[in-house]
Amino acid sequence: MSLFITSLNSGSNGNCYYVGNHNEAVLVDVGISCRETERRMKKLGLLMKKVKAIFVSHEHGDHIKGVSVLANKYSLPVYITEATAKHGPILIKHLSRTFKANKPIAVGELTVTAFTKQHDAADPHSFIIRHNSITVGVITDIGIACENVIHYFKQCHAAFLESNYDEVMLEKGSYPLHLKNRIRGGQGHISNKQALELFIKHRPPFMTHLLLSHLSQENNSPQLAASVFEQHAKGTKIIVASRHEATEVYTITNPKLKEEKIVFKKPVQLGLFS
Protein backbone atom coordinates (compact mmCIF):
# COMPACT_ATOMS: atom_id res chain seq x y z
CA MET A 1 0.00 0.00 0.00
CA SER A 2 3.04 2.32 -0.27
CA LEU A 3 5.10 4.16 -2.84
CA PHE A 4 8.84 4.60 -2.40
CA ILE A 5 10.45 7.71 -3.82
CA THR A 6 13.87 9.29 -4.10
CA SER A 7 15.62 11.95 -6.09
CA LEU A 8 18.76 10.36 -7.48
CA ASN A 9 19.92 13.83 -8.57
CA SER A 10 18.21 17.17 -9.08
CA GLY A 11 19.62 20.29 -10.71
CA SER A 12 21.02 21.69 -13.93
CA ASN A 13 23.80 19.06 -13.74
CA GLY A 14 21.29 16.22 -14.02
CA ASN A 15 17.81 15.13 -12.98
CA CYS A 16 16.57 11.63 -12.19
CA TYR A 17 13.62 10.65 -10.01
CA TYR A 18 12.61 7.17 -8.82
CA VAL A 19 9.03 6.21 -7.91
CA GLY A 20 8.03 2.62 -7.22
CA ASN A 21 6.11 0.12 -5.14
CA HIS A 22 7.32 -3.23 -3.79
CA ASN A 23 7.34 -4.87 -7.23
CA GLU A 24 8.04 -2.30 -9.92
CA ALA A 25 9.29 1.24 -10.42
CA VAL A 26 9.72 3.94 -13.04
CA LEU A 27 12.38 6.58 -13.54
CA VAL A 28 11.35 10.06 -14.59
CA ASP A 29 14.26 11.40 -16.67
CA VAL A 30 17.81 10.08 -16.56
CA GLY A 31 20.02 13.15 -16.66
CA ILE A 32 22.98 11.49 -14.98
CA SER A 33 25.11 8.70 -16.42
CA CYS A 34 24.03 5.08 -16.45
CA ARG A 35 26.90 4.19 -14.13
CA GLU A 36 26.00 6.93 -11.65
CA THR A 37 22.34 5.95 -11.73
CA GLU A 38 23.26 2.35 -10.95
CA ARG A 39 25.70 3.37 -8.22
CA ARG A 40 23.23 5.61 -6.42
CA MET A 41 20.41 3.09 -6.61
CA LYS A 42 22.65 0.34 -5.27
CA LYS A 43 23.73 2.56 -2.37
CA LEU A 44 20.06 3.09 -1.50
CA GLY A 45 19.24 -0.62 -1.77
CA LEU A 46 17.09 -0.12 -4.87
CA LEU A 47 17.16 -2.86 -7.52
CA MET A 48 17.43 -2.03 -11.22
CA LYS A 49 15.39 -5.14 -12.02
CA LYS A 50 12.37 -3.41 -10.49
CA VAL A 51 12.62 -0.48 -12.92
CA LYS A 52 10.20 -1.21 -15.75
CA ALA A 53 10.19 2.05 -17.75
CA ILE A 54 11.70 5.50 -18.19
CA PHE A 55 9.53 8.56 -18.76
CA VAL A 56 11.14 11.58 -20.42
CA SER A 57 9.82 15.04 -19.56
CA HIS A 58 11.67 16.98 -22.30
CA GLU A 59 14.84 16.96 -24.36
CA HIS A 60 17.21 19.19 -22.37
CA GLY A 61 20.53 17.52 -21.63
CA ASP A 62 20.13 17.57 -17.85
CA HIS A 63 17.11 15.27 -18.30
CA ILE A 64 18.24 12.86 -21.02
CA LYS A 65 22.02 12.42 -20.64
CA GLY A 66 21.87 8.81 -19.44
CA VAL A 67 18.60 7.67 -21.04
CA SER A 68 19.97 5.85 -24.07
CA VAL A 69 22.70 3.87 -22.31
CA LEU A 70 20.52 2.86 -19.37
CA ALA A 71 17.55 1.93 -21.56
CA ASN A 72 19.67 -0.13 -23.93
CA LYS A 73 21.52 -1.91 -21.14
CA TYR A 74 18.33 -3.03 -19.40
CA SER A 75 15.97 -3.10 -22.43
CA LEU A 76 13.69 -0.57 -20.80
CA PRO A 77 10.82 1.03 -22.71
CA VAL A 78 11.26 4.78 -22.94
CA TYR A 79 8.05 6.80 -22.93
CA ILE A 80 8.69 9.95 -24.92
CA THR A 81 6.62 12.13 -27.26
CA GLU A 82 7.47 12.31 -30.94
CA ALA A 83 8.37 16.00 -30.74
CA THR A 84 10.71 15.39 -27.80
CA ALA A 85 12.28 12.37 -29.49
CA LYS A 86 13.21 14.45 -32.55
CA HIS A 87 15.46 16.59 -30.36
CA GLY A 88 16.21 14.09 -27.62
CA PRO A 89 18.19 10.94 -26.81
CA ILE A 90 19.54 8.86 -29.67
CA LEU A 91 19.78 5.07 -30.03
CA ILE A 92 16.42 4.30 -28.43
CA LYS A 93 14.03 4.18 -31.38
CA HIS A 94 13.54 0.45 -30.90
CA LEU A 95 12.62 1.07 -27.25
CA SER A 96 10.52 4.22 -27.68
CA ARG A 97 6.88 4.32 -26.68
CA THR A 98 4.75 7.41 -27.08
CA PHE A 99 2.38 8.95 -24.57
CA LYS A 100 -0.34 11.60 -24.64
CA ALA A 101 -1.21 14.18 -22.03
CA ASN A 102 -3.86 13.18 -19.49
CA LYS A 103 -3.94 9.56 -20.75
CA PRO A 104 -2.86 7.13 -18.00
CA ILE A 105 -0.27 4.46 -18.84
CA ALA A 106 -0.11 1.27 -16.79
CA VAL A 107 3.32 0.02 -15.76
CA GLY A 108 2.53 -3.08 -13.74
CA GLU A 109 0.47 -1.84 -10.82
CA LEU A 110 1.67 1.74 -11.31
CA THR A 111 -0.26 4.25 -13.37
CA VAL A 112 1.65 7.15 -14.92
CA THR A 113 -0.17 10.21 -16.26
CA ALA A 114 1.60 12.99 -18.16
CA PHE A 115 0.40 16.57 -18.39
CA THR A 116 1.60 19.57 -20.36
CA LYS A 117 3.38 22.53 -18.78
CA GLN A 118 5.06 25.82 -19.68
CA HIS A 119 8.75 25.36 -20.47
CA ASP A 120 11.04 26.28 -23.35
CA ALA A 121 11.27 22.81 -24.86
CA ALA A 122 9.70 21.07 -27.86
CA ASP A 123 6.89 19.27 -26.02
CA PRO A 124 7.41 19.43 -22.23
CA HIS A 125 5.43 17.34 -19.75
CA SER A 126 5.38 16.59 -16.06
CA PHE A 127 3.98 13.43 -14.48
CA ILE A 128 1.99 11.95 -11.64
CA ILE A 129 2.46 8.32 -10.62
CA ARG A 130 -0.33 6.46 -8.83
CA HIS A 131 -0.61 3.21 -6.91
CA ASN A 132 -3.40 2.10 -4.56
CA SER A 133 -4.87 5.60 -4.15
CA ILE A 134 -1.42 7.13 -3.52
CA THR A 135 -0.23 9.84 -5.88
CA VAL A 136 3.28 11.25 -6.36
CA GLY A 137 4.02 14.18 -8.66
CA VAL A 138 7.24 14.98 -10.50
CA ILE A 139 6.72 18.65 -11.31
CA THR A 140 9.89 20.46 -12.33
CA ASP A 141 10.99 22.74 -15.18
CA ILE A 142 7.79 24.75 -15.08
CA GLY A 143 7.82 28.38 -16.18
CA ILE A 144 4.68 29.12 -14.23
CA ALA A 145 2.25 27.24 -12.02
CA CYS A 146 -0.32 26.88 -14.80
CA GLU A 147 -3.77 25.33 -14.43
CA ASN A 148 -2.46 21.87 -15.32
CA VAL A 149 0.21 22.07 -12.62
CA ILE A 150 -2.33 23.24 -10.06
CA HIS A 151 -4.84 20.54 -11.03
CA TYR A 152 -2.37 17.68 -10.59
CA PHE A 153 -0.50 19.15 -7.62
CA LYS A 154 -3.77 19.11 -5.68
CA GLN A 155 -3.86 15.31 -6.03
CA CYS A 156 -0.39 14.58 -4.64
CA HIS A 157 0.43 12.83 -1.39
CA ALA A 158 4.04 13.73 -2.18
CA ALA A 159 5.67 15.80 -4.90
CA PHE A 160 9.00 16.72 -6.38
CA LEU A 161 8.38 20.44 -6.93
CA GLU A 162 10.72 22.85 -8.64
CA SER A 163 11.98 25.74 -6.49
CA ASN A 164 14.68 26.95 -8.81
CA TYR A 165 15.80 30.42 -7.78
CA ASP A 166 15.58 33.23 -5.30
CA GLU A 167 14.35 36.35 -7.09
CA VAL A 168 16.78 38.73 -5.39
CA MET A 169 19.77 36.45 -5.96
CA LEU A 170 18.88 36.09 -9.64
CA GLU A 171 18.43 39.83 -10.12
CA LYS A 172 21.72 40.70 -8.42
CA GLY A 173 23.66 37.72 -9.79
CA SER A 174 26.18 37.49 -12.59
CA TYR A 175 23.94 35.93 -15.25
CA PRO A 176 23.54 38.00 -18.43
CA LEU A 177 20.20 39.74 -18.78
CA HIS A 178 18.93 37.47 -21.55
CA LEU A 179 19.50 34.39 -19.34
CA LYS A 180 17.83 36.03 -16.34
CA ASN A 181 14.83 36.83 -18.52
CA ARG A 182 14.76 33.29 -19.89
CA ILE A 183 14.65 31.84 -16.36
CA ARG A 184 11.97 34.16 -14.98
CA GLY A 185 10.01 34.85 -18.16
CA GLY A 186 7.25 32.25 -17.81
CA GLN A 187 8.83 29.57 -20.00
CA GLY A 188 11.86 28.76 -17.85
CA HIS A 189 11.69 27.98 -14.15
CA ILE A 190 9.78 29.03 -11.05
CA SER A 191 11.22 30.77 -8.01
CA ASN A 192 11.04 29.91 -4.33
CA LYS A 193 8.30 32.52 -4.00
CA GLN A 194 6.22 31.11 -6.86
CA ALA A 195 6.62 27.53 -5.64
CA LEU A 196 5.65 28.58 -2.12
CA GLU A 197 2.53 30.30 -3.43
CA LEU A 198 1.52 27.08 -5.19
CA PHE A 199 2.19 25.12 -1.99
CA ILE A 200 0.24 27.47 0.29
CA LYS A 201 -2.78 27.90 -1.99
CA HIS A 202 -3.11 24.43 -3.45
CA ARG A 203 -1.45 21.88 -1.19
CA PRO A 204 -3.91 19.09 -0.41
CA PRO A 205 -4.43 18.35 3.29
CA PHE A 206 -3.06 14.82 2.81
CA MET A 207 0.33 15.88 1.38
CA THR A 208 3.02 14.35 3.60
CA HIS A 209 6.27 15.05 1.68
CA LEU A 210 7.49 17.89 -0.52
CA LEU A 211 10.89 17.55 -2.18
CA LEU A 212 12.16 20.92 -3.38
CA SER A 213 13.84 20.20 -6.69
CA HIS A 214 15.99 21.63 -9.50
CA LEU A 215 17.57 24.32 -7.30
CA SER A 216 19.94 26.70 -9.06
CA GLN A 217 23.52 26.47 -7.85
CA GLU A 218 24.15 30.18 -8.46
CA ASN A 219 20.77 31.74 -7.64
CA ASN A 220 19.52 29.72 -4.69
CA SER A 221 20.72 27.67 -1.74
CA PRO A 222 19.31 24.58 -0.02
CA GLN A 223 19.18 26.43 3.30
CA LEU A 224 17.30 29.39 1.83
CA ALA A 225 14.77 27.27 -0.05
CA ALA A 226 14.09 25.10 2.99
CA SER A 227 13.64 28.11 5.29
CA VAL A 228 11.09 29.64 2.93
CA PHE A 229 8.88 26.52 3.09
CA GLU A 230 9.40 25.20 6.60
CA GLN A 231 7.52 28.01 8.31
CA HIS A 232 4.47 27.07 6.21
CA ALA A 233 4.89 23.29 6.27
CA LYS A 234 2.05 22.48 8.70
CA GLY A 235 2.97 18.83 8.98
CA THR A 236 4.34 18.32 5.47
CA LYS A 237 7.95 17.10 5.56
CA ILE A 238 10.15 19.47 3.54
CA ILE A 239 13.21 17.95 1.85
CA VAL A 240 15.69 19.64 -0.47
CA ALA A 241 16.74 17.38 -3.35
CA SER A 242 20.48 17.67 -3.83
CA ARG A 243 22.42 18.29 -7.05
CA HIS A 244 25.31 16.21 -5.68
CA GLU A 245 23.75 13.04 -4.24
CA ALA A 246 20.57 11.08 -3.85
CA THR A 247 18.07 11.74 -1.11
CA GLU A 248 17.07 8.94 1.20
CA VAL A 249 14.17 6.75 0.12
CA TYR A 250 10.88 8.05 1.48
CA THR A 251 7.82 5.87 2.05
CA ILE A 252 4.58 7.50 0.94
CA THR A 253 1.29 6.16 2.24
CA ASN A 254 -2.33 7.21 2.17
CA PRO A 255 -3.36 7.96 5.75
CA LYS A 256 -6.99 7.26 4.91
CA LEU A 257 -6.30 3.67 3.91
CA LYS A 258 -6.52 1.31 6.85
CA GLU A 259 -4.06 -1.52 6.92
CA GLU A 260 -5.64 -4.87 6.32
CA LYS A 261 -6.00 -6.75 9.56
CA ILE A 262 -5.59 -10.50 9.59
CA VAL A 263 -7.92 -12.18 12.07
CA PHE A 264 -6.73 -15.47 13.49
CA LYS A 265 -9.40 -17.80 14.84
CA LYS A 266 -8.84 -19.25 18.26
CA PRO A 267 -7.65 -22.86 17.79
CA VAL A 268 -10.10 -25.56 18.82
CA GLN A 269 -8.67 -28.29 20.98
CA LEU A 270 -9.80 -31.65 19.71
CA GLY A 271 -10.41 -34.46 22.10
CA LEU A 272 -8.57 -37.70 21.48
CA PHE A 273 -11.35 -39.79 22.97
CA SER A 274 -15.07 -39.31 22.96
Q: Which domains does the chain have, with CATH numbers?
A: 3-252 (3.60.15.10)
SS3 at position 77: coil
CA dist., res. 198 & res. 150, Å (int): 7
Q: What is the pLDDT along the chain (274 residues), one digit of tens a residue?
A: 799 999 999 999 999 999 999 999 999 999 999 999 999 999 999 999 999 999 999 999 999 999 999 999 999 999 999 999 998 887 788 999 999 999 999 999 999 999 999 999 999 999 999 999 999 999 999 999 999 999 999 999 999 999 999 999 999 999 999 999 999 999 999 999 999 999 999 999 999 999 999 999 999 999 999 999 999 999 999 999 999 999 999 999 987 765 433 333 333 343 333 3
Residues 134/207, Cβ–Cβ less than 8 Å:
no
pTM for the model stands at 0.92
Edge-to-edge, what's the strand order for the sheet holding 209-213?
105-107, 110-116, 125-131, 134-139, 158-162, 209-213, 237-240
CA dist., res. 242 & res. 248, Å (int): 11
CA dist., res. 234 & res. 210, Å (int): 12
CA dist., res. 141 & res. 167, Å (int): 16
CA dist., res. 63 & res. 122, Å (int): 13
Q: Report CA dihedral (14, 15, 20, 24) to the nearest 10 degrees.
A: -50
pLDDT reported for residue 263 = 35
As to burial, measured by CB atoms within 10 angstroms (0-12 exposed, 13-18 middle, 19+ buried), residue 93 is: exposed
Largest CA distance in the chain: 96
pLDDT reported for residue 258 = 52
CA dist., res. 230 & res. 196, Å (int): 10
Amino acid (one-letter) located at 181: N
CA dist., res. 85 & res. 83, Å (int): 5
Residues 32/65, Cβ–Cβ less than 8 Å:
yes
pLDDT reported for residue 166 = 98
**What Cα–Cα distance (Å) separates residue 66 from each residue in 88, 183, 225, 230?**
11, 24, 28, 33
